[in-house]
Amino acid sequence: MVQAMRFGRCIVIDDDPDILLSARLLLRDLFREVAVFQEPDAAMAAMAQELPDVILLDANFGRGATNAAEGFHWLAEILKHDAEAVVVMITAHASMSVAVEAMKRGATDFVSKPWSNERLLATVRTAAALRTSREEAVTERKRSAVIAAPAAGEAPLLGASPSMARVYSLIARAAPTEANVLILGENGTGKELVARELHRSSRRADNVLVSVDLGAVAESLFESELFGHVKGAFTDAKGDRIGRLQAADGGTLFLDEIGNLPLHLQPKLLTALEQRQVVPVGGNKPVPIDIRVIAATNVSPDQLADESRFRQDLLFRLNTVEIELPPLRERREDISVLVDHFVALYSKKYGKPARTISSMLAAALRAYDWPGNVRALRHAAERAVILADGDAFTEEDFSLSRATASRPSAPAPSAPVADDLNLERAEKTMVEQALKKHSYNISLAAAELGLTRASLYRRMEKHGL
């Protein structure tokens, strides 16, 4: 016998009180509550209070009725109220045509009168598990979904420079297709914004956009995170869970930091994309997926072409269309537009007065190299809005004078300690120096060290920083 109260609520609708009593007694160990109703409208009122896991619905209510018209009517009403409802139709023994029609109209399954207790229990248990699986899928989609509009504080894709015009053109041509897209660019250039725009302008725009930061996924959790797992697959697998690929079914999957995916894990991703199906960890049944893949990386094309770092068959699968985002220093004419956008945004957010930007300051902003690109410019603008005093912004408000003064005149890095050649201590010192130099701005420190944000976090944890 299945453990009591494994599922939540079951509703049984039938005009025969003997059927209702029999069903309630049989199913009471399978559900926390079994509610029975002779009148469908009363059952609908109960649904408004709490949605059930399973509904058993009689096909015919009127004496002598055999065409299931009333049952089909209430089936439609139930699905109108709850599109994810799991309905098992109760039919007369000889009404196979009614059962088939019920399935076409949205019923999940059917049982015939008089039923076998074992058959009824198996059917209802499967139906309840289906409802649970659907709810978990919805929860996972919500957990994984990225809203396709820019988040608060992020710029939309702004700029009229020739390099950005090329980016807009590629997005416009690639978005309506099903082609996979690889977005290249330094940290902070706006790769996620391009992914959102591709999704928003695609045929999948009404479906979910699921984002996975592969640089932040531990190798031990890679398969579970992407492909899902079944209950008992490992110690902490206390229930079935769908992975990110299945959560993106029907929509777009954004694989950020794809260049950080270890070489030995790349074949697993390639297999799933080629076969368009996933097998959850601990499972043996493939689950089909319908996804469009957008990937992004700050790794250079030369490094991606290195077979010892990245599988070329996976690269070919990902980069049907390639979009390379220019660093901010290569589109300086867009800096003023971005600054105006961020200053207006944060002035409104923090209730600060409008302040002017002098032509001299505007020139200084355009002249600065912005090693953290648009993300760094955004942080600088936010800081300036918060700390500025007076009617106009100054270079100090944007930390330009300090940033310029702290920049080395020559590219050669300074040795942490001249006589200390220990790599571990040297690495810790360099990470500390980068963090202090950029006031613990992770994006800027990571950019200067040539690391991704995830890699810098790992080194900070490693060295107790």
Could you read off the pLDDT of 319-332 as tens digits, one per residue?
999 999 999 999 99
- Are residues 208 and 123 part of one domain? no
Pairing of strands 7-13, 31-37: parallel
Mean pLDDT of 53-69: 80
Using CA atoms, how far apart are residues 347 and 385, in angstroms rounded to an integer? 6
Let me know if residue 156 belongs to a domain: no
Whole-angstrom distance, CA of residue 428 vs CA of residue 425: 5
pLDDT score of 284: 80
DSSP 3-state of 205: coil
Compute the distance between CA of residue 95 and CA of residue 113 in angstroms, rounded to an integer. Answer: 10
- Which CATH number fits the domain that encloses residue 438? 1.10.10
- pLDDT surpassing 80 at residue 118: yes
Do 36 and 131 fall within a single domain? Answer: yes
Residue range 164-191: mean pLDDT, rounded? 95
Residue 352 pLDDT = 93
Residues 402 and 274 in one domain: no
Task: From 91, 113, 143, give the residue that closes a domain.
Answer: 143
Rounded to an integer, the average pLDDT of 41-60 is: 89
Is 174 found in the same domain as 280? yes
- The pTM for the full model equals 0.61
pLDDT of residue 463: 75
Q: In whole angstroms, give the CA distance from residue 160 to residue 198.
A: 19
Q: Is the pLDDT of residue 407 over 60?
A: no
At 401, the pLDDT band (50, 70, 90 cuts) reads low
User: In the chain, how many domains are there?
Assistant: 4
Mean pLDDT of 214-239: 80
Q: Which range among 68-77, 128-137, 340-349, 396-405 shows the weakest confidence by mean pLDDT?
A: 396-405
Least confidently predicted of 229-233, 271-275, 416-420 = 416-420
Q: Kindly state the percentage of the chain with pLDDT values over 90.
A: 42
Asked if residue 244 is part of any domain, the answer here is yes
Beta bridge partners of 435: none
- pLDDT tier at 416 (50, 70, 90 boundaries)? very low
Domain that holds residue 457: 423-462
Which has the closest alpha carbon to 183: 331, 261, 294?
294
The domain that contains 110 carries what CATH number? 3.40.50.2300
- The residue with tokens 């072409």 is 305
Q: Which residues contact 14 (CB under 8 A, 6 or more apart)?
A: 20, 23, 36, 38, 56, 58, 90
- pLDDT beyond 60 at 153: no
Which residues 6+ apart lie within 8 Å of 314 measured at CB?
266, 267, 269, 270, 273
Q: What is the dihedral of CA 164, 168, 174, 176, to 10 degrees?
A: 160
The strand pair at 241-242 and 228-229 is best described as antiparallel
Do 395 and 309 fall into the same domain? no
- Pick the range with the lowest mean pLDDT from 107-116, 364-373, 432-441: 432-441
Angle at 450 between CA 449 and CA 451, to 5 degrees: 90
SS3 assignment, position 348: helix
Whether residues 296 and 318 share a domain: the answer is yes
pLDDT band for 183, please (50, 70, 90 cuts): very high
Q: Residue 135 is encoded by which pair of tokens?
A: 């709810």
Question: Same domain, yes or no, for 94 and 194?
Answer: no
The Cα–Cα gap between 358 and 377 comes to: 17
In a domain, 157, yes or no: no
Question: Across all residues in the chain, what is the average pLDDT?
Answer: 84
> Is the pLDDT higher at 332 or at 134?
332
Domain-embedded: residue 1: no
Residue 217, CB-side half-sphere exposure with 13 Å CA sphere: 24
In this structure, the chain runs to a length of 465
Q: What is the mean pLDDT of residues 442-446?
A: 75
In a domain, 48, yes or no: yes
> Of the ranges 48-62, 271-285, 446-460, which one carries the lowest mean pLDDT score?
446-460
Residue 153 lies inside a defined structural domain of this protein? no
Q: For position 219, which CATH number holds?
A: 3.40.50.300
Rounded mean pLDDT of 269-287? 89
Kindly indicate the confidence band of residue 1, based on its pLDDT and cuts at 50, 70 and 90: very low
Q: What is the pLDDT of residue 410?
A: 39
Mean pLDDT across 368-396:
91
Determine whether 1 is exposed, middle or buried from the number of CB atoms within 10 Å of its CB (0-12, 13-18, 19+): exposed
User: How buried is 251 (Cβ within 10 angstroms: 0-12 exposed, 13-18 middle, 19+ buried)?
Assistant: buried
One domain, residues 307 and 347: no
**pLDDT over threshold 80, residue 254:** yes
Are both 272 and 185 inside the same structural domain? Answer: yes
The percentage of residues in the chain with a pLDDT greater than 70, rounded to a whole number, is: 86
pLDDT over 70 at 148, yes or no: no
User: Which among 25-29, 113-117, 131-135, 144-148 has the top mean pLDDT?
Assistant: 25-29
Arithmetic mean of pLDDT, 19-36? 90
CA 366 centroid distance within chain: 35
Please determine, for residue 269, whether its predicted confidence score (pLDDT) is greater than 80. Answer: yes
Question: What is the pLDDT, as a whole number, of residue 253?
Answer: 94
For helices 162-174 and 191-200, angle between their N-to-C axes, nearest 10 degrees? 40
Q: Would residue 261 count as lying in a domain?
A: yes
Q: Is the pLDDT of residue 48 over 90?
A: no
Instruction: Write out the two tokens for 454.
Output: 């995830």
Q: Between the ranges 234-243, 374-383, 414-423, where is the mean pLDDT highest?
A: 374-383
Same domain, 299 and 335: no
Instruction: Answer yes or no: is pLDDT of 400 > 70.
Output: yes
Lowest mean pLDDT, pick from 102-106, 128-132, 159-163, 405-409: 405-409
Q: What is the mean pLDDT of residues 430-453?
A: 78
Residue range 74-83: average pLDDT? 88
390 vs 348, 351, 384, 394, CA distance in Å? 17, 15, 12, 9
Are the C-beta atoms of residues 192 and 211 closer than 8 Å to each other? yes
Nearest 5°: phi and psi at 157? -70, 105
Say if residue 197 is in the same domain as residue 304.
yes
Domain end among 291, 326, 361: 326
Radius of gyration, alpha carbons of the chain: 29
pLDDT band at 281 (very low <50, low <70, confident <90, very high): confident
CATH number for the domain harbouring residue 383:
1.10.8.60
Structure tokens at 264: 């030995």
Of 272, 291, 326, which one is at a domain's C-terminal end? 326
Q: Is residue 415 part of a domain?
A: no
Same domain for 82 and 196, yes or no, is: no
